[in-house]
Structure 1
Amino acid sequence: MRTTVGIIGAGPAGLLLARLLHTAGIDSVVLESRDRAYVEQRQRAGILEQGTVDVLRAAGAGERMDREGLRHDGIELRFAKRRHRVDFPALTGGRSVMVYAQTEVCKDLIALQSKEGGPLLFEAEALAVEGADGDRPRVRFRHEGREDVLECDYVVGCDGFWGVGRKAVPVSLSRVFERTYPYAWLGILADVAPSHDELVYARHDRGFALLSMRPPVTRHHPSEEVASLPVESFVSRLYLQVPADTRAEEWSDEDIWDELERRFETADGWRLERGPITQKSVTPMRSYVHEPMRYGRLFLAGDAAHIVPPTGAKGLNLAVGDVVTLARALAHEKETGSPELLDAYSATCLRRVWQAERFSYDMTALLHRAPDATPFDDRLRLARLERIAASRAAETDLAEAYTGFPFE
């Protein structure tokens, strides 16, 4: 099998890259080790920056997002039982974010790829990238019980931290920067309408909490009498800071709701609505950057090259920035014959990556309480939150970073 661009991984990065290349007249093949059902059900990030929203619309993948997604024009910061809303459009010249789960982005892009794009092979496990430093790189993969080879002009590793893409970069050329945090997030999905219409980021002496949501899901009414009538099911997504070694089953539903109430408490009587918890999971927290993001004709994108703690909602959006940059570079090379933008890919992406890493680290340190935090540390973070609430300049810096750094 032969193609121009071999893409390993059918997450949002690989699928969007395939779509962008298709619109630019560049053929590709996508290899995904999991089956389609797994990819379309894999729960991940749910906040899309303004730039990501714009790219999906331009790629023809925005129709359902615009219909079902939730546009958010701000977030609320809570600290010392106070509430402060950050108004994104007022601070950024009209920019906002969209609540629309990664699973839904993948469904939309898979549908487009299946209808209009090149081959998308599920249950096709990439085994190795070979010859990346030459003119004809190859991906060895296993599909339908036999090994095959995908010959390419370029290979793109969109296969995450554990994939074969990053492993194909020689250790002697790799530089790794990372930090592991001493806490994690206990996340729940609950069948209850969100208690606030925007995301709430709460700092508390007992630890961080986040109130989020998923767009309403239309389901059939369980009653036989009205079985033909659809009902709108609201879903809340909430998180608690917990020790890094926490197991989800250690927390009862009642204990989770009690702790969320403590951390979200305000002086104005705001109430947290409770409901049945349908899912619990623990998310570890780490920061990671692999440099460079290119080796010969192999390019890394998304989690294969960088990981951020989820506090700043940057993971999916960074992956989008990577593949937008790479698609532009490949289109430029096709149109002009010049490799200039391809040669600049790693440096171009890393400028944005490090700004996102900085913002994600700052948000994480600001809102979480470290196990060894001192009263002095606590007062410094409280002073920083008070500064954001009182200073338009400080508030603008947060709003600009949250709604997204520009794609270069």
Structure 2
Amino acid sequence: MLLLSTAAMAQTEVRFTHSITGGASREALDSIIADFQAANPDIKIKEIVFDDDQYSNQGLITQLKSNEVPDIFFEWAGFPVQRDVAAGYAYDLTEAMAADGWKDSFSPAVWTDGAGTMVDGKPYLVPLSLDLTNTIWYNKKIFAEHNLTPPKSWDEFVALNKTLAEAGETPIVEGNNEFWPLGNWAGHIAAMVVPPDAYIAAFKQEAPFNTPEFEKALNLLVGLHDVGAFNKDMQALGADPAMATFFQEGAVMHPIGSWLVSETANLADEGFEYGQFNTPVIDPGHPLANSVIGTITGLVVHKNAPHPAEAIKFLKFLTSEASQIKWAESGQMSPVQGVSDKAKLDEQTQAMLALMSGASGIVPPPDNKYPVPVAEAFYQAAAFAASGEKSAKDALVWLDETLAAMGKQ
């Protein structure tokens, strides 16, 4: 009994905070954690879990500033990682990545300058998933009932929405009470319309948003509103209820990211058939006409982690080929080399990988690439336009005035 008590007391607890609350991906993660703990009985992984909105709004920052910081936390690549490094929350993984070829086990693309996993050439984010931030999921049965096929152009897309609305369907469901679901999509739409240099300059607060090109982009959302495309409770509905609405056939389409796949078993009835298509081409001559919007998500070791060595040991196990095959088969796109060739991927994950590999470019979500207050103000302006609350012009005037009052971020 004394030996058992001593062993239990010696067990190291690694605190891991994230927002993977359910679905196939949570089952895969729990299985990987169980495997790790079986192989390492002296280490226990304690999960601190929040839902998506709570995590991004309060859960993560509360944890990072607490007296008992997590050893590991989930994060988005890009600006959030830069912010974490500047605030002293992120652990430099240079030495760990150099050991045992860990860094080389990932796709080289995740370590490029634009990937957002590194700051000043040093790795801080352990890539876990390649996320398609927005694709347009659609109900195959309802499309067939109305003799519809995925549109090739924006004009076809508007016409399709008009057809569905006139038939009494809710064409698109958005849960936009946190602004980011529609905001990410609006960011991609704008990136496909506005010249790239002007787009970047506006988000860096080096040029105004109130331009003819940004007005054209927001007017595309106004046009969808005018044909009755959106659910009337869009501004009040949450992201998770919106996804459930799609799976329960309360709407025909749902623009959201790749994580929808892992929720299918939880939310969809057996036999539910769905597909996806990218935001249709708006301007064929634009350099990002056939782009996708996507990012990398992953895990950061806290700079002041109580147990950094054990945390890194777990992360190496989590990103091993065997663990990542489980992860990929749950509906995630793995950044580890060779996994997608060996895993048994579902139809939707295969389609997303094909979409990303065939894209003319990958547009990062605004709140991953640029200062979050700027991105969030843009998201609200997009919501004004899509809900009919303001014209595209008035929304952009409001946006520039809001940013001017906010000051340089």
TM-score band, normalised by shorter chain: under 0.3
State the structure with bigger RCO (CA 8 A, min sep 6), 1 or 2. 2
The structure richer in helix per residue is 2
TM superposition score normalised by structure 2: 0.27
TM superposition score normalised by structure 1: 0.27
The structure richer in strand per residue is 1
